[in-house]
Amino acid sequence: MQDTVLVKGHQLSAIRGERILYRGVDVEVRGGEAILLRGSNGAGKTTLLRQLAGLSEPQFGSVVRTGDHHWIGHANGLKAHETPRAHLSHWARVWGSAARLDLVLERMTMVRPADVPSRMLSAGQKRRTALGRLLLVERPLWLLDEPFNALDTGGQALLSTMINEHRERGGAVISAMHGDIPIEASREVTL
Amino acid sequence: MSAAPLWQAFRSAAAEAWAGGAGALLPLGFFAGTCLLVPFSVGSKAATLSAIGPGILWLALALASLVTLERVFQADVQDGALDLWVQLDQSLSVIAAIKTLAHWCVSGLPLVLLTPIFAIMLQVPADDLVPAMLAYALGGVSFFMWGGVAAALAASVARGGLLIALLALPFYLPAIIFGALALNEGLGGTAILFLAASTLFSLGVAPAAMGAALRLAAD
């Protein structure tokens, strides 16, 4: 799996209204790598990630993905009435996951709040629930948008470990981030 | 392509329609309220009521279906769940249609089941009740399918409820016309067939439009 290109963005551009966010951006990630997208607020990190995920069509350039990917966006994808357990079991069934839910909840230290509706959870707990989706099915590419947001120190350490383990298994990560990062990056792309 | 994602789409949409309190009760209350006001506005003469009763019910049903449509896709756009649905291998159109039908089951079907009560109140002859229910059920599906298209188009608009009504109402016309005719003709006439055809048409065309609109909303 090492050395296979998992996603390749060629000469990507994004236009918002009459403003060019970025142009001519090349991104390529291989198994085992972690690429950080850097840039000030509004530079287009999220837009670039969405283009790589296939959620947005790039105005110019092309994206080629060779495998499945996980998407952790800015919004967690949780409904207000949904509990972490319900959320994870829902997507586990959608994706045909064989993962054991109690183990995933335990890994994310979400066992105690597992049955609390998400409107009563803290921002960090919601984020942990969303990140739990990464453990449901094995997918080579993780696309993460500011994944460390709202996480406490323990949560940040947990996510770094998850990312490292994923890379050791030959997976790759592309992540938009600002500030200090608790993971070792292979490359940075600055917008 | 397995059926699990489709079933999950149905389950989650039904749970969502039900959640937040008053999920199914809101359109029901609207429907009941509209029907109850009619005798006060047109007078309580039995002849008048039985002449306009079926048409009023039909109209109330169409408007009541608009009450919940705002919630079909808007939450998915706001909380990011739409991004996850879009990235599935399954066709987004099918998922969207299933979610809309789930909402119909939770908030449209109870209306149909309750129509006999209000029909009797509006002096509709008892023999007409069963054909009327069938027509309401058929028409209700097409109301929800076209309403679903409008809801998908308005999904990224804050407070899009009114916009949904404006977008959807013109598409309600065929079902309204053939439905009202079917109520007069009963089950033996051709109008009920045309009503069924317009519902089939909506089931065939609306999902593709919903899928395209949602893809646009995610972009």
A77: nearest CB among B4, B81, B219: B81
Predicted local confidence at residue B23, as pLDDT: 67
Residue contact B87–A71, C-beta within 8 A: yes
ipTM for the predicted complex comes to 0.91
CA separation for the pair B52, B124 (Å, rounded) = 9
What is the rounded CA–CA span in Å between residue B58 and residue B174? 13
How high does pLDDT run on average in chain A? 90
Cβ contacts below 8 Å, chain A against chain B, sum to 61
Would you state the structure tokens that stand for residue A91, as one six-digit string? Answer: 């997507």
Residues of A in contact with B79 (CB under 8 A): 75-80
Q: What global pTM score does this model have?
A: 0.90
pLDDT tens, position by position, A50-104: 999 999 988 889 999 888 999 999 899 999 889 999 999 999 999 998 889 999 9
Whether the per-residue pLDDT at A179 is higher than 80: the answer is no
pLDDT at B22: 56
* Three-state DSSP class for residue A27: strand
How close, in Å, is residue A122 to chain B by CA atoms? Answer: 15
User: Distance between CA A9 and CA B32 in Å, rounded?
Assistant: 56
A107 in contact with B at a CB cutoff of 8 Å? no
Q: Does B188 touch chain A (CB under 8 A)?
A: no
Both tokens of B114, joined, read 């309750």
Report which of B154, B148, B137 is spatially closest to residue B9, judged by C-alpha positions: B148
State yes or no: pLDDT of A176 exceeds 60.
yes
User: Which residues in chain B are contacts of A73 at CB distance < 8 A?
Assistant: 80, 83
Percentage of chain A surpassing pLDDT 90? 63
Residues of chain B with pLDDT under 70: 1, 20-23
Angle at B163 between CA B159 and CA B169, to 5 degrees: 140
Q: Give the integer Cα–Cα distance in Å for B13 and A48.
A: 30
User: What whole-number percentage of chain A has pLDDT above 70?
Assistant: 98
Q: DSSP state, B88?
A: S
> Residue B128 has what pLDDT?
81
pLDDT score of A109: 92
- Mean pLDDT to the nearest integer, A41-53: 90
The count of C-alpha atoms lying within 13 angstroms of the C-alpha of B66, restricted to the half-sphere facing its C-beta, is 19
Q: Around A85, how many Cα atoms within 13 Å sit in the side-chain half-sphere?
A: 11
Q: What is the pLDDT of residues A114-145, one digit of tens each?
A: 999 999 999 999 999 999 999 999 999 999 99
Residue B162 pLDDT: 86
How many C-beta atoms surround the C-beta of residue A181 within 10 A? 16
Instruction: Output the CA–CA distances (angstroms, integers) from residue A184 to A34, A36, A180, in the order listed.
Output: 8, 10, 11
Cross-chain residue pair A77–B15, CB shorter than 8 Å: no
What Rg value do the Cα atoms of chain A yield, rounded? 17
Q: Which residues of A touch B8 (CB under 8 A)?
A: 90, 93-94
Q: Does B22 touch chain A (CB under 8 A)?
A: no
Model pLDDT, residue A135:
94
Q: Is the dihedral of CA A178, A10, B213, B18 positive or negative?
A: negative
What is the per-residue pLDDT for B187? 78
Cα A15 from Cα A13, distance rounded (Å): 7
- Out of A71, A94, A96, closest to residue B83 by CB: A71
